[in-house]
Every structure is written in structure tokens, then in C-alpha cells.
Amino acid sequence: MDVVTHILVGACVAQIPSRSTRNNSTLNLGFCQRAMIGGIAAIFPDIDYLLFFWNPLEFAAYWHRAETHSLLLAPLWAWMLTKIWTLSHHFKQFRSLVFWICLLGLLSHSMIDSLTTYGTQWFAPLSDYRISWNLLFVLDGYFTICMIITFLWMYFRQNKNLALFVFLLPLSYLFFVHQIKHVAYQEITSNSIDKSSTVSLLPQPFSPLYWQLIRQNKDNINQAYLRVADDPIAPLISNLIGKKYYQDNFQPLRQLQWRNYSLTPKSLHLQAEASMVWHHESFRAFRDFAVYPIYYQHTKVGLDNCVWFSDLRYHWPDFLPSFRYGMCRDEGEIWTVHRMNYLTSDPVRLNQ
């Protein structure tokens, strides 16, 4: 999820821990102090983004949302953050309270990230299995608004007895999105002729009523964009960012427009190179990370011949796919791993 939402959730869960007691006296931190500690703890796990600059593909495949997002290691990170906070004399007497606030902030980050399609390694370093509930897009304005309302309610009321109750708003929104997805999934699978394919629904930008459908079997992947119902807010947002026809790509269930993809290019003379790149040892990280991998395209970059693949999780209408990796071969016949820039199709060679 985005930084603002993480901070808001961390600031809200920071209000939950009870006051500390010491020498028969009650110790407590103010609302804003708790919110500051919880908010910073809630964005700490994304410190792993520093590894992106070392190798973006290895980062995406193995390092991001791993150890710093682990539920198993959360107490360790909470202890470390507590040590930093208690370097200040003001917070020393609240050591136990600060620890619990940091722990809740860290856990909130992992839980919220698990709502997206990327997934989170809850049990790193013991397991690299990713938990992904595919409920929210990485930027979900409705959920963020729910958290803003929750934060403001807690700030103005500051009633400990209501600290958990006010979370009903964002939780209700998540339940609402889950029900939309569940109903859509039931309708799609019940009307599907091909019972051998698996069907997945992935959240899309701007609206909980927009979904990407992926129907996959052992040979092909089919993709369509579903509009469960009209959302009057989504067109306003898409127009604001210059995506005027974004919402037109989403169709009702009975009018879905399916697109066919595969790992193999249609042109016979390109298939050998594509297969060579896909199975190349240096391309292992992409194979390990991609959930719905597809062949993207061949390009010529100067004298280099490049073969590109993508992951359908990161295909959104009217946007360049954000996850495009491939290999380029120079005149010396040496294949090297490249990625495309997020906002353009310019290739960038990765560190090997």
C-alpha cells in the first residue's frame, strides 16, 4: 500500500495499547506521540526499498516484503525501534508502551500489504511463501478515506473504549470489497465453459468495482477487464491524471472482451530466442517472481536484440506495464538481463 495509508493505519493502531504502570504510577503517551511512533513504525518495513537500487529484479523476486515484513521478525524490529526511541530521555519511562506501539505498527504494515496482489512473506526467513489476498490495489482511495475518517474520529474523541470500535469502518469496507469479489467470482465460474482453467480476480486502479480477470490453463492465459457496476468517481480520477478512456476498458460480465497471451510469441522465427531467454539461468529471478508471466515483445536496441516478458498482475488499461523484464544479446552473443523503465520503454541493464 501507499505510504500515507500505512502511516494512517499505524497511527490508529498506536492508540490501542493500554497505559504503562511503573512504581504504582500510571504512565501514558499523548495521542500525537502515539500516532508519531506508530506511523513511523508502520513505514519502517519499506526500508527494504534501498535494495532496489542494487538489483531491481532480485529485489522484486526475493528481497521486497520479506524479512522486514516478516511476522516472525516483527518483535525484533519493534525492539530495535524501541531502543532508538528510548535514546530520548522523554520516552525512556515508556519503554514497554513504545515497544507495543511499534509492534502493532509493524504488524499493521504486513497485514495491509497482504491485501494487495504483490503478497507478503509473513514467515521469512523460514519460508518465502507470499500471502496475497488480492482485495485492494496498491493505491485505494476509498480505503485511505476510511482510514482518514477513523484517524480523525479517534483524534477528536480520544476514548480508549472506542479505540477498537472505530476500526469497523475500514473493516466494513474490506468486507464490502470481499463480497464484490466473491459474487463476481461465483458468477464467472458458474458461467464458464472451460472447467479446466483457474480463474483469478485482481483489483484495479480507482475503484473496487473494477477487476482484472485472468483465466489460465496449462497452455494459455486469457485476460479481461470486468466492471461490476458503474462508479461515478473513477472517471473523474482517470480524467484528472490524463487517462480519459480508462474506464471504457472495463465491461459487464456478459460483454467481456478476452485477450489471449502465452509465453511463446506467435511468430515462429522468434520462438527459439524467447525460449532461450525464458529458460536462461540469469533469468531465474523473473521466473520465480512472476505469477502470470507472458511474452511481451522483441525489440532492437542499437545492435542489441532484446526479448521481453511481463507479468499480467501489473497490466492496467491505458498504463504501460510496470513489470517488464528481459534479456538483450550483443554482437558477442552474450545475453544480459535488462528491465524497461516504468514510465517509458527504455531498456536499463541490471547489475549481474
Please report which confidence band the pLDDT of residue 1 belongs to, taking 50, 70 and 90 as the band edges: confident
Please report which confidence band the pLDDT of residue 160 belongs to, taking 50, 70 and 90 as the band edges: low
Residue 23, pLDDT > 50, answer: no
Helical packing angle, 31-43 and 95-113, nearest 10°: 50
Domain stops at, among 261, 294, 317 = 261
pLDDT in tens, 180-193: 999 999 888 887 66
Per-residue pLDDT at 195: 64
In this structure, the answer to whether residues 41 and 154 fall within a common structural domain is yes
Give the range of the structural domain holding residue 216, as residue numbers without chain letter. 191-261
In this structure, the answer to whether residues 166 and 211 fall within a common structural domain is no
Please report which confidence band the pLDDT of residue 198 belongs to, taking 50, 70 and 90 as the band edges: confident
Residue range 119-128: average pLDDT?
93
- Cβ(215)–Cβ(226) below 8 Å: no
Per-residue pLDDT at 322: 85
* % residues pLDDT > 70 (the chain): 92
Per-residue pLDDT at 163: 59
Distance between CA atoms of 138 and 117, rounded to whole angstroms?
8
User: Residue 300: which residues within 8 A CB-CB, separation 6 or more?
Assistant: 306
In this structure, the answer to whether residues 153 and 226 fall within a common structural domain is no
Residue 199, pLDDT > 80, answer: yes
Q: What is the arrangement of strands in the sheet containing 221-227, beginning at the earlier edge strand?
A: 198-204, 207-216, 221-227, 259-261
Residue 186 counted as domain residue = no
In this structure, the answer to whether residues 225 and 304 fall within a common structural domain is no
Q: What's the number of domains the chain is made of?
A: 3
Residue range 295-303: average pLDDT?
84
Please report which confidence band the pLDDT of residue 289 belongs to, taking 50, 70 and 90 as the band edges: very high
Residue 179 counted as domain residue = no
Residue 285, pLDDT > 80, answer: yes
The whole-chain average pLDDT of the chain stands at 89
Radius of gyration of the chain (CA): 23
Per-residue pLDDT at 193: 60
Per-residue pLDDT at 25: 44
Residue 180 counted as domain residue = no
Residue 181 counted as domain residue = no
User: Which of 39-48, 240-249, 315-324 has the highest mean predicted lDDT (pLDDT)?
Assistant: 39-48
pLDDT in tens, 45-57: 999 999 888 888 8
In this structure, the answer to whether residues 11 and 32 fall within a common structural domain is yes
Identify the three-state secondary structure at position 216: strand
Residue 327 burial (CB count, 10 A): 24
Per-residue pLDDT at 174: 96
- Cβ(310)–Cβ(321) below 8 Å: yes
Residue range 131-153: average pLDDT?
94
| Cα distances (Å, whole numbers) of residue 347 to 169, 318, 338 | 44, 20, 6
Residue 247 counted as domain residue = yes
Per-residue pLDDT at 192: 66
